Amino acid sequence: MRKTMIWSTVASAMMGVVILAAPAIVTAQGGDAILKPADLAKVLPATVFYRGQSATTQVRNSGGVKFADGYFVMASLVDTSGYSTGVAAKYQAYFINEVPIKIGGQKLAPGAYGIGFIAGSKFIVTDIGAHDLFTVSSSADAAMKRPMPLQVLPDPAHGFRLYSGRQYVVFER
């Protein structure tokens, strides 16, 4: 009776390890991996520099991609309370890309940027000095069941979608 109980406990523990390790195994087998806030908590900085000030990142509102070759694209909402209203209107998140990507068809070199979804269904990318680099159109995903303040999901056609609520832009390598 006692041995049966011990074996049952061991089997349950081993099953738990397999269940917890399954996502890591799938990611390790190749392909790009969508990163959730828990994944990014280990790599995103707590504060970031933008337009002469430091802003706190909101890791709970972050998302990204780890490409199969190990390079990252990450975004995190930031606390913009210390910024002027003009800067805060277009600087909602910090964006880091380790490889060249395209956002809405526009090329973006590796670096750190300020990004924002602005009026008129537009998405803006600025350098860390708050200078506008480019603006592209964003789209609305009316079918999204549970919008989040910021998240990254795969795009059905190609690449990935960076969402702010139901608004999104597509990015790809």
pLDDT, tens digit (0-9, with 9 covering 90-100), for 17-43? 334 433 433 343 349 999 999 999 999
| Structure-model confidence comparison of residues 4 and 67, the more confident one | 67
pTM as predicted: 0.82
Domain boundaries, the chain: 1-30, 33-172
Query: What is the phi/psi pair of residue 39, to 5°?
Result: -70, -40
